[in-house]
Structure formats: C-alpha cells, structure tokens
Amino acid sequence: MPSTDLLLVLAAAGCWIIAAGAGALARTSERTFLGLGLAAALLAAGGAAHALWTGHLSGLAFRFWGLTAWAEMDSLSALFLVPLQVLGALGLVYGSAYWPLPVGKGRGVPLRCCYALLVAGLTLVFVLRQGLLFLVAWELMAVSAFFLISTEHDKPEAAKAGWVYLAATHVGTAALVAMAILLARRVGGPLWVPAQGPASGLDLAILALAVVGFGFKAGLLPLHFWLPAAHAGAPSHVSALLSGVMLKAGIYGILRVSSLLPPVPHAGALLLALGAFTALYGAAYALAQADYKRLMAYSSIENLGIIAMGIGLGMAGRAVGDPALAALGFAGALFHMLNHAAFKGLLFLGSGALLHATGTRRIDELGGLAKLMPRTALAMLPGVLTVSALPPFAAFASEWFLYRGLFAGLLRGNPWSASLALPALALTGGLAAVAFGKFYGAVFLGEARGPAGAGAHDPPTPMTWPLAILGVLCLALGLAAVPLLPLLERALSPLLPGTPIPLSTLLSGDLRLFLVLQLLLIAAGVPLVAWVRRGFAEKTSVPPTWDCGYAAPTARMQYTGGSFADLWSALLPGIRARVRTPRALFPPPTGFHPTQRDPLGLDALEPRLAQLADRLLRFRRLQQGNLSVYLLYVLIALLGVFLWMLVRAWMRG
Amino acid sequence: MLHDLLIALTMLTNFTLVATHRVQKSIQVAAFQGVLLGFLPLSMGLWRHTHVLLLAAATILVKGWLIPFLLRRAMRQVQIHREVNPYISYTLSLMLCALGTGISLVLAHNLPLKPGDAHGLFVPAALSTLFTGFLLLVSRRKALTQVVGYLVLENGIYLFGMLLVEQMPLLVETGILLDLFVGIFVMGIVINHIRAAFDSTDTLRMAELKD
C-alpha cells in the first residue's frame, strides 16, 4: 500500500508533538523523552527511506477547517526528511548530555520541548501541500526555532540574536503568505498542484516572492544578517539542527515552488549568480571570524550559496529544455544538501564539545586541544576535510556534480552566469579550506594560547557517538556516490516530470574512476600513517612542541587564528588589522589586533534601521491622544470605503 | 406603513440629537430613539417569531429605561448639564447631519445589496444614524455626550441588523444588547472616576494620558 509511508511520517510528526508535550512537563524523565523522540525519528526515517528506495508517491487528502487539504510524500520530500530525522535523533542523544535537565537554570525543559516541536514542524513542512497548512507548519518551525535560539536569553547577545531572527523570519513569512495567495490564484485552489499553461508575469512574481521568503530562511545574500548570531548563540545541538536542516527548508521551498510553475526564463541564471555571490561571501567572511561557531555559521551561508547555485543551474537547464544540465544542477544541489547536513551537523556538534570542555568560543584562546581531547579531534577531522571539499569525502563528490554542470552550461546554456559561477565555486572551495585549516590548526594543534583549555577533556559517551556516526557518514557519502545516483534520480523526478534523467549515464563513469582512486588513496594512506606513527612510537619520549633549539619556547610564538587568516582576508571590506610596526633598535612591545565587520551584516544594517525609525517618528503626529480625533479617523475610513464602493459600482455601470 | 413612519421619526430624532445643548435632553432623545427602534420589529408584522418579540421587549427595556437611568445617574454624579463649546458648532453639526443623511440616501441606492433589501428606508436610515453617532462622538467634548454618541452609533447598527432580523439568532442580538449595557455601565463608572481624578470630564484633558 503506497500511502503507508506517508502515514508513518505523519505518525512520526504526531509522535514528535507528543514528545514535546511530554518534554514540557518537568517530571517526565530524560529516558522517556529520548525514547519518544527516537521512536518518532525511526518511524519517519523508515517511511521516508522506503519511499526513497521504491520511488512510490504517497498522498493523503483530508479536510481541515472546511478546506480541502493534501499531504504528499514524493521522493523529493523523502530526501529532505531522512537527514532531518537522522540529525534530529543524533541531536536528541547529544543534547541529553550537552544540556541535561538539572543544569542551566531549569532551561532544559523548554529547550527539549521546543526541540521536539521544531522537528515536528519541519517534518510537516516537508509533506504538507496546501498553502494554509504549509504556512502553519512553517510558523511552528520558525517560532520554536526562536525559542531555541534565545535559550540563553540572559546573555544580551543571545537575546538580541533571537529577536533579530524573529523579525527576519516573519518578514520572510509575510513574503510567503503573499506567495501562497498568488500561487493559489495561479493554480486555482489552495492545493499545491502543478500549474498549467505557459509562463507569465504572475509566475515570475510568485518565484520572486518565494526566493525572498525562503531566502530569508536559507540565508541567501542580503537576507543572511540574522544567521551568524543566531547559530552562534543557540545551544550547539540546536545549531546543528538549524544549520543542517532548517536552512534546507528554505531550499526545499524554492525547489518545490519552482517545480509547480512552468520554467521562467532567466530566473535560473539570476539564482546561479546570487548563489555564487553568497557562497563566495560566506567563505570569505568565515575565514575572518574569531569565534568558531560564527565561523561555522558563515560556512553555512557559503554552503547554502553552493546549493542555490545548483538550483539556479537546474532551473536554467529546465528553462532551455536541457535535461542533462537540469539533472546535474538539481542533483548537485540535493547531494550537497545531504552532505552539508552531515558535515555541518558534525562540525556544530563538535564545536559544542569544545564549548562544553573549554567554555569559550574564541579561537585565539584555545590551542593544542588534540592532546587533551583526542577523540573529538579525530571525529572532527572528517568534517573539516569534507567542508574543504577534499576527496574522498562527501562534499567533493557533490561539488563535482556542480563543476560538471557548470562546464556543460558554459558550453551550451548560459555562458555569462556559468563563467561567473565557475571561478566563484573554485575560490569558495579554497577559502573554505583555509578557513577550516585555520580553525582546526588553531584549536587542535600547537600549544594552548590561554588558560581556557587547561582542564579540557573528551565529552561523555552520548556526545561522542553522534560525532563518530556523522564522521563516518561524511566518508561513506563520499565513497557511496555511485549507488546513490539512482536515489538522486528518483528524487529529481518531481522536479523534472516527464523527462528522462540521464544522471547515471553522465556521472557513473567519473564517479567510478574517483572511487577507485580514492580507495587506492586510502589503501596507500593507511599503511603510510601507520608506518609514520610506528616511527614515533619507537622513541622513548615525546618532546614538547618546538623543542628544537629554542631556549624558552612559548605559546605566543605560534600563529594565532587571526594572523593566519589575515594573509587571505586583508583585502575584504570591513576587515581591519591594527598593527604597530616595530621601529628603532629596542622596540617596545607591539601587537596585532584584527577586527572584522560584516559589510552586509547586522552591524551595517542597524544604523540604517535606526535612521529609518527616526524618520518614521514624524507619523507620531497622528497619535494625538484625543479620542475624538481617533474616531474621526474611523469615520474617514468608513466614508472612504463607502466612496470606493460607489465609485466601483459607477465604473461597472 | 407603520414601520416607515417609525424610521422617519428615527431620522428626525437624529437632527434633534445633534442640535441639542442640554445633556438631559440628549439622553431623553436617545432613549426615545431606542424605544422607537424597539417597536420597529413589531411594526414590521413579525409577531409570530417568539425571539423577535423577546428581542423587542429587551431592547425597549434596556434602551428605554436601563441605559437612560445609568446615564442620568452619572450626570447627577458629575454635575454636568450642558455641553458647552463643542468642537463643531451646533449649526454646523446640523448641516453636517443633513449632509450625512443626504449621502446615506445616495449611498443606499448604489450599494450592492440583495434585491429584496434595497427598497425602503432601512439602509439610508441605518447609515444616517451611524453618521450621526460618529458626528456626536467626534464633535463633542464631554465624556457623557460621547457616550450618547456611542449609543446612537449602536442604534444605527441595530437598524441595519433589522434587515436580517428573521434570520439572526437571538443569541447574537442579546449579545449585542448585553455588550452595549455593560459598555455604558462601565463608562458611567469610569466617567465618575475621571472627574474625581482630573476634576473635569473634558476629554481633551485626557490627551495627557497618551504614552
């Protein structure tokens, strides 16, 4: 029975809501809550995986408040549901040790309640296909995320991040409401079914509103300002879920809406350029961050930009009727979405372990943690290598899809956008590698730069296991690209209905070659590492770092994160380094102080908003404080309405 | 025929209301208007509906006795007998009221109503009473006369509701009536307290309360 899959997913959403209700009671034990959440995740992941495996489409029509409603799970929804449930379950296990109930001023109870609500909302977002219900699920997700972000609301930074997020998400929702209304007019009903007829101006308006509304969630460029502070301020398992899945809800929305409309010319190329700009910007400013959670948040912007590039390429391919281009673009976006959920989940959970152990988010206070936290260091290595898009890890494979698609686009479809995007993608990969090289090198290698990391130790088992699982996934997704191809083809079928998807024929040759090379690399690398380590083990003692001839080595001799990044990021706008160059024979002590400011971020936005608020103050004159005047406004409005009706009646004859 | 007469009388009371100086008289006229409207459903020959009968009785009781009683009590407590110096002079109010009545007549003929409702004086009378209520609310200074304006405004809405009196459930009508009664009850108390606190019931003084 095909609709069993959907029923499983809906039951899982219900189970998450029950878990939220149970979690809201302080007397519910950690174990009960965990059990409910894991059961829900298992149900939904099972349903979605089955739907993805068989390619069945399961739908359910029902009535809700007198309106017809439609829930449907196709393989596209299923592809988004699987990482959601996996990351949701891992975050749940991780959170039970990261933020146990007794600590944190009793915030554990609302935290776990909102966490379950967020997962429930996201689950529903991916299956509901009716404008109104979709928006309700969307708001459930958005509002529970607000409470999660402002968990530590006694810190002014986290409280502000929460409010900025709330304002941003609601502006996005306003655009989505308009989009849903126009879409209902376009398809002739509230249900989200494919629109008939050729593309028109209305389609362009719907798509533009969708990109704005969903772009707020996905952090596409000028709309990303809420993202870094929100991800840095939230508890780490929440950041993992926000970055790994909630941002993808924006991507899902853009994909879903564009799949309902006929192809709009030029929209794909514009989205491709926007994605390229976002990716480059995110990577460049990730490099400049001094706070490792903010660094990861900027890296999320970068990766969402890469995904948007894929979607843009796919839409461009769809518009020119080139199935190969469309398949490469959309498949690259979807595969990268999957990979980003794995590696950014890993990185945020790992940074939670760092925060848990050291209590600081500043890279320049840490150092040498690989000795104190060897398991965390080992588990985060695959994440760092994946985000840098290095083989044999997962992001290399997904970016390969995009490179292939962009080269194909260069030859056929959109030369200007593809020629813009290709160097942007390459530069993005390089900058991301430098940014995470800075992070990993400064935090785990070298010597401690401050007292913060002195008592650091590996986190307890419930926090280590999720890291290990995600680390293995990062490698496995990279190696299993060939068997994943049919799954991706199935997930693409709702986006490219009625056209054959030539993904296997296009890519299986490349990917097989890569697989062989990667296996050879691993086969050669593992003995090499073992041999090198054996050499170390033969020595009787391990000397401290830099014991080779320095009389008094100190941790201040090493590069800091800031000075390392300055080599690459000095030219970016908003980045300054204050250096006093030593002069004269006996120079006084000098220093290097990098500061960074996001030129499109909140720091730049706030003065302008304050200015606007000042201008709007002149409307205060309308508020006289006199009841008669207010009633006069009502009377004028009433007369205006009557007048309008008269004029309308007169115009209609 | 009888109901046309009642409606015409209602429209005439509107003119009396905007032209009167004395608070005592405006309360009286508003009560008279309420009683007229209470008799209206009976004059339309709707005897057979029990709920319409109940409603008429309740309207006459509340608008003809209870509310005027409350207003008079409030008037005695605050010792206000005249509306002096309104925002809009009485002559101008009278002209505006006439203009409003004219506009209502024009509007009623052009509004997209159901064919059955378009005839008769109901819609123009409802609109003109509505405008009169607004005029009183906007132009008068004393809180007590503003309450009278509110009462007249509600009468206009009630008149509009007459179009649907057969279909409208009793619960809705009684709800509106209860709402009105409680509103005026509370306003009576509030006016008294305002006078105790500010030594005036001139609403202009309350502009100091804006945030």
Q: Give the separation between CA A57 and CA A78, rounded to whole angstroms.
A: 10
Model confidence band, residue B165 (pLDDT cutoffs 50, 70, 90) = confident
Q: Give the separation between CA A495 and CA B27, rounded to whole angstroms.
A: 71
The H or E element that residue A576 is part of is strand A575-579
Which pLDDT value is given to residue B123? 86
Tokens of A264: 């709009």
pLDDT digits (tens, 9 = 90+) for A188-240: 888 999 988 888 889 999 999 999 999 999 999 889 999 999 999 999 999 99
Model confidence band, residue A622 (pLDDT cutoffs 50, 70, 90) = confident
Of B112, B138, B210, the CB nearest to A631: B138
Q: Give the separation between CA B182 and CA B157, rounded to whole angstroms.
A: 17
pLDDT digits (tens, 9 = 90+) for A48-59: 999 999 888 888
Model confidence band, residue A45 (pLDDT cutoffs 50, 70, 90) = very high
Query: Which of A620, A621, A624, A627 best tests the B interface by mutation, with the highest count of B CBs <10 A?
Result: A627
pLDDT digits (tens, 9 = 90+) for B109-148: 777 676 665 557 888 899 899 999 989 888 888 878 888 8
Q: What is the DSSP letter of A68?
A: E
Closest-CA distance, B51 to chain A, in angstroms, reads 30
pTM, two decimal places: 0.79
Question: For residue A299, is pLDDT > 70?
Answer: yes
Q: Which residues share a beta bridge with B82?
A: B22
Question: For residue A535, is pLDDT > 70?
Answer: no
Which pLDDT value is given to residue A336? 96
| A624 interfacial to chain B (CB closer than 8 Å) | yes
- Of the listed ranges A340-349, A375-384, B42-51, the least confidently predicted one is B42-51
| A632 interfacial to chain B (CB closer than 8 Å) | yes
Q: Give the separation between CA A410 and CA A399, rounded to whole angstroms.
A: 16
Q: Give the separation between CA A508 and CA A423, rounded to whole angstroms.
A: 25
Question: For residue A44, is pLDDT > 50?
Answer: yes
pLDDT digits (tens, 9 = 90+) for A562-597: 888 877 776 777 777 777 787 888 888 887 777 778
Q: Give the separation between CA A474 and CA A478, rounded to whole angstroms.
A: 7
Average pLDDT, stretch A434-452?
Answer: 90
Helix (H, G, I), strand (E, B) or coil at A129: coil
Q: Give the separation between CA A432 and CA A306, rounded to whole angstroms.
A: 12
pLDDT digits (tens, 9 = 90+) for A627-638: 778 888 888 998
Contacts of A650 in chain B (CB under 8 A): 110
Identify whether the C-beta of residue A276 lies closer than 8 Å to the C-beta of residue A246: no
Question: For residue B19, is pLDDT > 70?
Answer: yes
| A628 interfacial to chain B (CB closer than 8 Å) | yes
Helix (H, G, I), strand (E, B) or coil at A59: strand
Question: For residue A1, is pLDDT > 50?
Answer: no
- Of B119, B107, B133, B121, nearest to B13 by C-alpha is B133
- Of the listed ranges A269-283, A347-361, B63-77, the least confidently predicted one is B63-77
Which pLDDT value is given to residue A385? 94
Closest-CA distance, A642 to chain B, in angstroms, reads 7
Contacts of A86 (CB under 8 A, 6+ apart): A41, A45, A341
Among residues of chain A, what percentage have pLDDT more than 90?
A: 53
Identify whether the C-beta of residue A438 lies closer than 8 Å to the C-beta of residue A290: no
Identify whether the C-beta of residue A410 lies closer than 8 Å to the C-beta of residue A422: yes
Helix (H, G, I), strand (E, B) or coil at A72: strand
Domain ranges of chain B: 2-209
Question: For residue B106, is pLDDT > 70?
Answer: yes
Assign 3-class secondary structure to B90-116. HHHHHHHHHHHHHHHHHHHHHCCCCHH
Contacts of A642 in chain B (CB under 8 A): 107, 111
Query: Which of A621, A623, A631, A634 best tests the B interface by mutation, with the highest count of B CBs <10 A?
Result: A631
Identify whether the C-beta of residue A463 lies closer than 8 Å to the C-beta of residue A348: no
Tokens of A199: 């593309």
Average pLDDT, stretch B148-166?
Answer: 84
Q: Give the separation between CA A186 and CA A194, rounded to whole angstroms.
A: 10
Identify whether the C-beta of residue A192 lies closer than 8 Å to the C-beta of residue A183: yes
Which residue type sits at A59?
G
| B1 interfacial to chain A (CB closer than 8 Å) | no
Which residue type sits at A570?
A
Question: For residue A611, is pLDDT > 90?
Answer: yes
| B199 interfacial to chain A (CB closer than 8 Å) | no
Which pLDDT value is given to residue A441? 92
Which pLDDT value is given to residue B116? 62
Report CA A84 to chain centroid distance, whole Å: 12
Torsion over CA of A549, A554, A558 and A562, rounded to 10 degrees?
-170
Q: Give the separation between CA B103 and CA A633, rounded to whole angstroms.
A: 18
Contacts of B109 in chain A (CB under 8 A): none
Which pLDDT value is given to residue A84? 96
Q: In B, residues 24-63, which contact A (CB 8 Å cutoff)?
A: none
Tokens of A386: 């994946």
* Predicted interface score ipTM higher than 0.85: no
- Of the listed ranges A113-117, A284-288, A394-398, B138-142, the least confidently predicted one is B138-142
Torsion over CA of A10, A15, A18 and A22, rounded to 10 degrees?
-160
Handedness of CA A474, A478, A484, A490 (dihedral sign): positive
| B207 interfacial to chain A (CB closer than 8 Å) | yes
Average pLDDT, stretch A131-146?
Answer: 95
Q: Give the separation between CA A274 and CA A268, rounded to whole angstroms.
A: 10
CA nearest to B139 within chain A = A628
Question: Is the previous residue joined to A190 through a cis bond, with omega within 30 degrees of 0?
Answer: no
Q: Give the separation between CA A250 and CA A521, rounded to whole angstroms.
A: 37
Q: Give the separation between CA A108 and CA A102, rounded to whole angstroms.
A: 7
As a whole number, the mean pLDDT across chain A is 89
Question: For residue B15, is pLDDT > 60?
Answer: yes
Contacts of B209 in chain A (CB under 8 A): 625
Provide φ and ψ at B152, rounded to 5°.
-65, -40
Identify whether the C-beta of residue A376 lies closer than 8 Å to the C-beta of residue A438: no
Angle at A607 between CA A601 and CA A613, to 5 degrees: 120
Which pLDDT value is given to residue A549? 63
Q: Which of A268-277, A585-594, B79-88 has the highest mean pLDDT?
A: A268-277
Contacts of A141 (CB under 8 A, 6+ apart): A118, A121, A122, A125, A246, A249
Question: For residue B46, is pLDDT > 80?
Answer: no
Q: Give the separation between CA A443 and CA A440, rounded to whole angstroms.
A: 5
